[in-house]
Amino acid sequence: MESFRMKIKLIFFCLIIHFIASSQTYQPFPIDSANWGFYKTSPSGPSYEKEIVKGDTLLGGKNYHKVYTQTNALTGFYREFSKKIYGKIIGYVDTSEILIYDYNLNVGDTFYDKRTTVGLMFNYKFVVSSIATTTLTIDSRKQYNFTFEGYQGPPSSYSNLGSSCNFFWIEGIGSLKGIFNNRANTPEGTECYHAALISNASFSTLKCFEHKNLQYMSQSCLTLRNKEFNTTANLGMSPNPTTGILNLDLKNFTSTENYSLKVVNLLGQNVMEAKLEKTLNISNLKNGIYFLKLFDKEKLITTEKIIKE
């Protein structure tokens, strides 16, 4: 009888966890005033590039949001309908509307990613291996993890894909490779960068995402530099979670004179301010999740999640 009760409790607990996970608020793609920042490596050397969403346009009777580079070059358009993201990309071989993301997928579902290169059409087959809350943003967003399951019709030079094609999407942000998965920057632009055996293939890593002047990743897009990163923005801290005292690693700072800290709660309220020093005492704060913001004078440099126990 006791064993039966334990099974009932376990089932009830699992149902609660499933309900909480499934009730997580969906984060749509931004429709304006958003910035993505990517660090890229390629045969021409490392670089830093931004993708910026601003303004709308009508194409074929449908409303699209326009995507620009940091030099104000228009690269493409996207629209969202029923948790699906469709894109049209300037200069890409395939001029049709492409389904780039589908956030209706569940674990075990298949996504066929349409690709084109040197005039040939083919598909990569991916399967959703898991869905979890991403650790890359300071808010709660789902991360869709994919595994590569095969392909249909690619050139022979793309035969060595294998596990290098495993990748993930972040809800409301997209791929680590770019909004259009690099299609706007390379002829093939695959998620599976090892498969892009072409001279100008590049590998991109998403480093920052901001929407309406709010920062959603630990790195601020304002601190990034072309061909390098502002390493002084790295703020190490321990222990985290903490019961009150945070030790701050200041080895990347030649001076802390112009820097200041603000602690913000989940409602966005400023609950504490302090100078940048080797320790930060948050003992007086209630237990919970906070965000530690680092400022260089008035400019926000980076945001870190901290947990007070």
Q: How many residues does the chain have?
A: 309
| pLDDT band, residue 292 (cuts 50/70/90) | confident
Give 187-214 pLDDT, tens digit per residue. Answer: 444 555 444 433 334 567 888 999 988 8
- Give the pLDDT of residue 190: 53
Give the number of other Cβ atoms within 10 Å of residue 274's Cβ: 14
**What's the CA gap between 58 and 201, in Å, rounded?**
32
Give 78-132 pLDDT, tens digit per residue. Answer: 999 999 999 998 877 778 898 999 999 999 999 988 766 555 667 778 899 999 9
The alpha carbon torsion through 50, 190, 185, 60 (nearest 10 deg) reads -90
Predicted confidence (pLDDT) at residue 19 exceeds the cutoff of 50 = no
- Give the pLDDT of residue 169: 92
Could you tell me where the DSSP H helices lie in 226-285? Answer: none
User: What values do phi and psi take at 194, rounded to 5?
Assistant: -65, -20
- Give the pLDDT of residue 15: 44
**What's the CA gap between 307 and 309, in Å, rounded?**
6
Instruction: Tell me what the pLDDT averaged over the chain comes to.
Output: 77
Q: Which residue has the tokens 């999407």?
A: 169
Give 162-185 pLDDT, tens digit per residue. Answer: 445 677 899 999 988 888 876 665
68-96 b/e (C-beta count within 10 Å ≥ 16 → b):
beeeeeebbbbbbeeeebbbbbeebeeee
Residues 144, 168: contact at Cβ < 8 Å? yes
Predicted confidence (pLDDT) at residue 18 exceeds the cutoff of 50 = no
- Give the pLDDT of residue 119: 57
**What's the CA gap between 99 and 80, in Å, rounded?**
10
| DSSP designation for 93 | S
- Give the pLDDT of residue 205: 81
Predicted confidence (pLDDT) at residue 24 exceeds the cutoff of 70 = no
**Is pTM beyond 0.85 here?**
no
Residues of the chain with CATH 2.60.40.10: 230-308
Strand boundaries in 42-188, DSSP class E: 47-59, 62-69, 74-81, 84-89, 98-102, 110-117, 120-133, 142-152, 167-170, 174-175
| pLDDT band, residue 142 (cuts 50/70/90) | very high
- Give the pLDDT of residue 227: 35
**What's the CA gap between 203 and 192, in Å, rounded?**
9
Give 215-263 pLDDT, tens digit per residue. Answer: 898 877 876 654 333 434 456 788 888 898 999 887 767 677 788 888 8
CATH topology of domain 230-308: Immunoglobulin-like (2.60.40)
Q: State whether the Cα torsion 282-284-289-290 is positive or negative.
A: negative
Give 51-93 pLDDT, tens digit per residue. Answer: 999 999 999 999 999 999 887 888 899 999 999 999 998 877 7
**What's the CA gap between 39 and 48, in Å, rounded?**
5
